Structure 1
């Protein structure tokens, strides 16, 4: 397996452009199935998850190509609504295709999706939403079959503001007969981006970004050209990296409004953040301060996807910080890896207590999931000595060659690929 080798202790400096948002691109690529013809999706990041989604679309009969951050996707030849199990196991976001395929073919067969093992992430809210629109659900073991001859708009109240369920219902309702209203909807910027894309294809949706979304069903959608929003989690990761290395970096192609909660926490920690339009400058000349309490919650509160990165920063802060994780119960797996590097962290139930230490030290650590992997890379950038991060395929799911991003800013980081084992047969 590939690994990253990091020589820490160098302040990051320079300018970097933030690539498009994975969590916006994946549902938008899925939604393209609802309009037959050729779509052009721009600012698409070159990530492992994106390639898995494109492989799924090709398996359904589509023609898809990613080149220079642009996907050209022809959905006209699509002929199947059966997503291969081996591809679904690779990525949880494959579940986004349920609504679009049900709309287009009247039937979809999927399997329990895979992805990062960060805790229980049931898809029951997706299925309940589709059932409310008129779909019949058949479950047999790991297989899920959804059928509907006609979807009808209705009122749907989500038990929890699930991003994926909100998006799946939005897509299925876009061509349902009548009006659908989603109450307690998730409010993430990626949902707003999906609304803008669907409306660009001819849908009639309002309310994304609030807790109530209204979808008036239309008879037909048409292909379009669309550009994906910047990735707020990648931007937040780079902000933390600048702070922890006592660096000074400028981020281009960001949406500061999507990072308000993150900026607030970093400023409480003593990080300097200056904003000018879609450009952010981040620096931290001294030791960060402890932050008394951080609680992860659905947007617009502090995102769970940046919890592990900020924990690394606070592991070097002056004082005791407390982080409460309310979204995923398995989101503290990076703690054991950080303690190998000298961090002083202990966990009680869903809270982590982080007592800052003067220095972290290089060690061999393992990325257990996407965001934990990014956090360990950041720790390695700040640590004294050499850090080796293994199982980096997790990181490749959400960061476009993270070693190149940091190398451009002066980091000493390299990717090593082991030589293939010779076959003596």
Structure 2
């Protein structure tokens, strides 16, 4: 367990490249289990969640390897269908193996998954879908046992556009008998990425306007795939530039997936300029963005988290941290996705922030200056947000532990240093 040290007051003015997407990599790794053969993923981020999922696959009987940012998975043999409890406790994404293993093995024993402490995040949406597809679900203490003679396609209106449940529905439907049609689905870019990946493996998946249609196939085939860049990492660094009134360049930005954040930055007086954007079906594949926030101004902002294309809950903490030191600005945030997303408010108040809470709403009144201090990170995005707060503060901040941050950011200290920040890691 290490810590991250931040000396505030530096204006960002460098350039860096955005890593591959965490939230796209994990479902694609789960999808590899559906195929009795080889999957190769390029632009894979070297982060703790990916390593945890890789170890889960190894424990199931897969052979895997990592060469730089290329991950290969040989799922020719699956030797067990019970997930390791110690590994699933570390990562919420392990729940995605539910649909994949049911499709491949027709049975899975899944301990209740862990991850960040940001809310209840129930698995009932996942279980309801599996039941609709012909699965028996038995809860035994701290684990779930799911069995099916054969997964069968179904028609289902989702009660909430859950990203994980949508992905599990796609995974389960890929090898199911017949057609699966889901409406009211999540439409995050990472879900589109899963559909694109599966089509290249021979699956019949269509995703459009909140609807998912999957025609079950008998088998998949070997494939290679280049992962999209991480929109949340890109959004974090764009907000860092805004917070320091910087002028920086980010390469490999999924600009088409960040339009809500872009509008907010422009309302604050910043400007975003896109370069070298190749017009493809997936525009996020290749885009360089210059973020010029030297003219940042006071503003009254309202941000309300919502499923895509709304403002991402995964950027809400970073926005709060940045607005806390924008003197004269007022930001009203309404959190609609996770009930514990305001956990960093107490840490920001230690730095002198003026934040007033009322259930799922927060009013942030920008103060002239925050003060560096000892800070405690309790979850992934909140940890990154505390680094952003430290960059805008007077003095030195120390964020402990760094474990949560490493779950999603490959090397946040290196990236921010390349952008001009005074950030370092200490064991």
- With the length of structure 2 as denominator, give the TM-score of the two structures: 0.96
CA separation in 1, counterparts of 2:7 and 2:182?
Answer: 49
Give 1:289's aligned residue: 298
Query: Is 2:235–2:258's contact at 8 Å kept on the other side of the alignment?
Result: yes
Q: Residues 198-237 of structure 1: matches in 2 within 5 Å?
A: 198-208=198-208, 210-237=209-236
Give 2:165's aligned residue: 165
CA separation in 1, counterparts of 2:378 and 2:162?
Answer: 23
Query: Is 1:32–1:223's contact at 8 Å kept on the other side of the alignment?
Result: no
Question: Residue 301 of structure 1: SS of its match in structure 2?
Answer: coil
CA separation in 2, counterparts of 1:297 and 1:174?
Answer: 28
CA separation in 2, counterparts of 1:311 and 1:181?
Answer: 38
Question: Residue 182 of structure 1: SS of its match in structure 2?
Answer: strand
Structure 1: unaligned runs, 5 residues or longer: 418-425
1:280 equivalent in alignment to 2:289? yes
Seen in structure 2, the aligned counterparts of structure 1 residues 253 and 292 have a Cα distance that, compared at 3 Å, is closer
CA separation in 2, counterparts of 1:330 and 1:260?
Answer: 25
CA separation in 2, counterparts of 1:9 and 1:124?
Answer: 46
1:309 equivalent in alignment to 2:308? no
Give 1:267's aligned residue: 266
Q: Residues 125-140 of structure 1: matches in 2 within 5 Å?
A: 125-140=125-140
Give 1:6's aligned residue: 6
CA separation in 1, counterparts of 2:65 and 2:422?
Answer: 33
Question: Residue 218 of structure 1: SS of its match in structure 2?
Answer: coil
Question: Residue 349 of structure 2: SS of its match in structure 1?
Answer: helix
C-alpha deviation, 1:408, in angstroms: 1.5
Aligned residues: 416
Query: Is 1:290–1:314's contact at 8 Å kept on the other side of the alignment?
Result: no
1:404 equivalent in alignment to 2:406? no
Question: Residue 13 of structure 1: SS of its match in structure 2?
Answer: coil
C-alpha deviation, 1:291, in angstroms: 3.2
CA separation in 2, counterparts of 1:269 and 1:336?
Answer: 25
CA separation in 1, counterparts of 2:294 and 2:124?
Answer: 47
Query: Is 2:46–2:69's contact at 8 Å kept on the other side of the alignment?
Result: yes
CA separation in 1, counterparts of 2:268 and 2:361?
Answer: 19
C-alpha deviation, 1:289, in angstroms: 2.4
Seen in structure 2, the aligned counterparts of structure 1 residues 52 and 281 have a Cα distance that, compared at 3 Å, is same
Question: Residue 237 of structure 1: SS of its match in structure 2?
Answer: helix
Structure 2: unaligned runs, 5 residues or longer: 278-286
1:254 equivalent in alignment to 2:253? yes
CA separation in 2, counterparts of 1:346 and 1:298?
Answer: 25
CA separation in 1, counterparts of 2:273 and 2:370?
Answer: 28
C-alpha deviation, 1:223, in angstroms: 2.0
Give 1:100's aligned residue: 100
CA separation in 1, counterparts of 2:218 and 2:129?
Answer: 20
Question: Residue 301 of structure 2: SS of its match in structure 1?
Answer: coil
Give 1:56's aligned residue: 56
1:354 equivalent in alignment to 2:344? no
Give 1:189's aligned residue: 189
Q: Residues 323-362 of structure 1: matches in 2 within 5 Å?
A: 323-362=333-372
Pick the aligned partner of 1:320 from 330, 333, 338.
330
- Cα RMSD, aligned residues only: 1.0
Deviations 1:85-129 (A, max 9, x none): 111100010000011111111110001100000011000000111
1:245 equivalent in alignment to 2:244? yes
More displaced stretch, 246-255 vs 192-201 = 246-255
Query: Is 2:106–2:151's contact at 8 Å kept on the other side of the alignment?
Result: no
Question: Residue 219 of structure 2: SS of its match in structure 1?
Answer: coil
- With the length of structure 1 as denominator, give the TM-score of the two structures: 0.96
Deviations 1:296-352 (A, max 9, x none): 011000000000111122112223221100101100000010111111111111100
Pick the aligned partner of 1:376 from 359, 383, 386.
386
CA separation in 2, counterparts of 1:290 and 1:361?
Answer: 22
CA separation in 1, counterparts of 2:373 and 2:293?
Answer: 24
1:365 equivalent in alignment to 2:375? yes
Question: Residue 34 of structure 1: SS of its match in structure 2?
Answer: coil
C-alpha deviation, 1:287, in angstroms: 4.4
CA separation in 1, counterparts of 2:96 and 2:397?
Answer: 36
CA separation in 1, counterparts of 2:302 and 2:37?
Answer: 50
Give 1:416's aligned residue: 426
